[in-house]
A and B are shown apart, each in its own frame.
Chain A
Amino acid sequence: MPGIDYFYPEFEVVRRDERCIRCRVCERQCANEVHRYDAERDMLISDEAKCVNCQRCVSLCPTRALKIVRSDCRLRENANWDGDTIREVYKQAASGGVLLSSMGNPKPLPVYWDKLLINASQVTNPSIDPLREPMETKVFLGKKPDRMTRDAEGRLKTDLTPQLELSMPVMFSAMSYGSISYNAHASLARAATEMGVCYNTGEGGLHEDFYRYGPHTIVQVASGRFGVHEDYLEAGAAIEIKMGQGAKPGIGGHLPGAKVGPDVSRTRMIPEGSDAISPAPHHDIYSIEDLRQLVWSLKEATGHRKPVIVKVAAVHNIAAIASGIARSGADIIAIDGFRGGTGAAPTRIRDHVGIPIELALSSVDQRLRDEGIRNNVSLVVGGSIRSSADVVKAVALGADACYIATAAVLALGCHLCRTCQSGKCNWGIATQRPDLTKRLNPEIGSQRLVNLLTAWKREIMELMGGMGINSIEALRGNRLMLRGVGLNETELRILGISHAGE
């Protein structure tokens, strides 16, 4: 729309010219075309209006001549109308469109992980040194028997329903091939295999090159049913039915046709260049009974050899929803909190729909225990697990394992610029442009993911050792190991923990 441009650029590109050697790496590496070399003046100039602050140029500048700072040109903000809110009004007045964003909810809503503190042993019960004593972080996800049973000869019966074995209680959550690049998927698949955990295909199908990582792959069946066929279901270690996503509960997905190139098209089983639209609901699921049918169809299709996960977004009645899922035949429930990431979501939904994962997890765990069906399912939680401390707190609140995705893409180089929807990811993650995807060498990417998980595993062992616990199983649902700070009575009741000092 013609008229006045209401926007002063959000960032400024600061170039210390006394350090700039005109190597032009910034110019070559910026897909947003911020930097440009002016031969006449022999200098680099920048158009900061195009800058998304992904810091690719900052990271590659060999003389550290560059930095990106937030512009201090401020709108006339006040406590009610902050700059972002005003800018969003301007944006919509100019475009008439729904606002789009990526990655997780950035609003200053409470992060309960940061208000939970972990216990440690002193004097009476000894702490354990994980460097000297064995420490078990392995978990099995799936339905557990309620009691031990023996056969006629008195031998223990060990025929369990299918279980997903993980060397530590962390998995990479669903990110589809399409939303992220081939090389990002390759990095996740290799790292999951090396670490003995799982990654998740998301709903984009499984690229033919990655079938060999099948034993460490969770294959997803979502509302669009993209790329779902018999071999796909057979390839995975578990099958996940995606009912909802924390970043955008209640709505579907939309991969623009521009990202559906030959490979994505083949993998998703849709025509090249066509938009891949995932409906908001599964059109065959309108009740727990319908869900049960899909769970059992998938189990029948795979000979009851694979656990089935049902993934839902954390919403208001999550405890009742989880109770229904636990009775549907699902082996694992995955709950995604409102801070979970995404490649693209309507801003209002990302920022205003859903509830914190900490509260969802504790209420679900408690409800399933109260109903005596906690052993029917394992609980996996995601939606902003940022560190090993978050993992330990989640396990203590009742989770069997955690899903991480934002942390994983950060390890791959993501700088949370939150413009995945543009398809111009300078780090080669959320893009399908060949010149950009090649920037992520899976040899480096997978090593960085392995390093991250290795570090977290060590930290989990340290924290467990401090509590005098030598097995992650003994930490699960052990809420006595947690105390809250700065929480009110209701929050403490839902979390099922005491206040610090109590």
Chain B
Amino acid sequence: MKRVYVNEEWCLGCHLCEYNCAFANSGESDMVKALKGKPIRPRIRVEGDDRITYAVSCRHCLDPLCIRSCISGAIHREDGVVCIDREKCVGCLTCVLVCPYGAVQPGPDGAAMKCELCLHNAAGEPACAAGCPNRAIVYEEREEGQA
């Protein structure tokens, strides 16, 4: 299965992935309209310090703790992609607590949200990878279990 991988050697810490993510999930067709003057809620976050930076988003684990811990059955897998049915989510945020990558966040409406590889939005494929200026974020197939 294709996943989002990060080559921290090439991450510039420019944070464009965060803005591309927020835009892709905004439902808007214009980035300015989607993001100007608003706090952004990206599902990918650039972490690091002044020496090294890297972007972190959902790993789409083979045995995801978030699915195991979900009390309402909202988190499920679709062809390997870990997704949240936001109608079913009761907002208990257990998933936020258990995710070892910190890749699940509470959404503005209370339901949890996370990277779903842009498969359900207009971008069609991960906007973070498509917009990364240095190919630090890639969307590709690697052997299962490889980071």
Contacts and interface: CB of A to CB of B under 8 A. Distances in A.
Contact of A63 (B12, B32, B135): B32
B39 to A, nearest CB: 11
Interface string A47-63: 00000000000011011
Interface string A409-451: 0000000000000000000000000000011010110000000
Contact of B31 (A21, A59, A60, A444): A21
A417 B131 CA distance: 25
A59 B13 CA distance: 16
Nearest to B23: A62
B135 A444 contact: yes
A443 B19 CA distance: 24
A25 interface: yes
A24 B15 CA distance: 8
Nearest to B131: A62
A19 interface: yes
B136 interface: yes
B15 A25 contact: yes
A29 B19 contact: no
Interface string B9-32: 110111110111001000000011
Interface string A22-59: 11110011000000000000000000000000000001
Interface string B85-99: 000000000000000
Contacts of A5: none
B123 interface: no
Interface in B93-119: none
A346 B139 CA distance: 47
A21 B12 contact: no
B20 A62 contact: yes
B32 A443 contact: no
Interface residues of A, number: 19
A337 B36 CA distance: 50
A368 to B, nearest CB: 46
B73 interface: no
B134 A439 contact: yes
Contacts of B80: none
A191 B23 CA distance: 35
A38 to B, nearest CB: 16
B58 to A, nearest CB: 22
Q: How large is the interface on B (under 10, 10 to 19, 20 to 34, 35 or more residues)?
A: 20 to 34
Contacts of B13: 28
Interface in B51-70: none
B6 interface: no
Given A18-B32, A21-B32, A441-B10, A60 B133 contact: yes
Contacts, number: 52
A443 B135 contact: yes
B71 interface: no
A19 B14 CA distance: 18
B66 to A, nearest CB: 29
Contacts of B31: 21, 62-63
Contacts of A19: 32, 36
A60 B135 contact: no
Contacts of A18: 32, 36
Given A21-B36, A441-B136, A444-B135, A62 B19 contact: yes
Contacts of A25: 14-16, 19
A444 B134 contact: yes
Interface in A279-335: none
A28 B15 contact: yes
Contacts of A21: 19, 31-32, 35-36
A22 B18 CA distance: 12
A368 B78 CA distance: 72
Contacts of A28: 12-15
Contacts of A62: 16, 19-20, 23, 31, 131
Interface of A: 18-25, 28-29, 59-60, 62-63, 438-439, 441, 443-444
10 contacts: A21-B31, A21-B36, A29-B14, A60-B14, A60-B16, A60-B133, A439-B12, A441-B134, A441-B135, A441-B136
